[in-house]
Amino acid sequence: MIPADAGIDLDGYFARIGYQGAHEATAATLHALHLLHPCAIPFENLDPLLGRPVRLDPDSLQRKLVRDGRGGYCYEHNLLFGQVLAILGFRVTGLAARVLWNRPEGTVGPRSHMLLRVELADGPWIADVGFGGLTMTAPLRLAPGREQPTPHGPFRIVPAGDDLRMEGLVAGIWKPLYRFDLTPHLRVDYEVSSYFLSTHPASHFVTGLMVARPTGTGRLTLANTRLSIHHPDAPSEHHTLGSAEAIMAALEERFGITLPDRPALQTRLAALVAEAPPRTP
Is 231 an annotated catalytic residue? no
Q: What is the pLDDT of residues 194-224, one digit of tens each?
A: 999 999 999 999 999 999 999 998 999 999 9
Q: Band of the pLDDT at 4, cuts 50, 70, 90?
A: confident
How much is the pLDDT for 281? Answer: 47
Q: Which of 34, 37, 39, 128 is catalytic?
A: 128
Q: Which of 74, 77, 152, 230 is catalytic?
A: 74
**pLDDT per position as a tens digit, 220-272:** 999 999 999 999 888 899 999 999 999 999 999 999 999 999 999 999 999 99
Q: How confident is the model at residue 108 (pLDDT cuts 50, 70, 90)?
A: confident
φ and ψ at residue 211, rounded to 5 degrees: -140, 145
Q: What is the pLDDT of residues 12-50, one digit of tens each?
A: 999 999 999 999 999 999 999 999 999 999 999 999 999
Please state, in angstroms and rounded to a whole number, the distance separating the CA atoms of residues 213 and 210: 11
Residue 280: which pLDDT band, with cuts at 50, 70 and 90? Answer: low
- Concerning whether 128 is annotated as a catalytic residue, the answer is yes
Q: Average pLDDT, whole number, for the chain? A: 95
Whole-structure pTM over 0.85, yes or no?
Answer: yes
pLDDT at 2 over 90: no
Q: Which domains does the chain have, with CATH numbers?
A: 10-180 (3.30.2140.20), 203-275 (3.30.2140.10)
34 is catalytic: no
Q: Tell me the pLDDT band of 3, cut-offs 50, 70 and 90.
A: confident
CB count within 10 Å of CB 191 equals 16
Alpha-helical (H) ranges within the chain are: 10-17, 27-40, 46-49, 58-61, 74-88, 187-199, 204-207, 244-253, 262-275
- Catalytic residue of the set 77, 113, 152, 230: 113
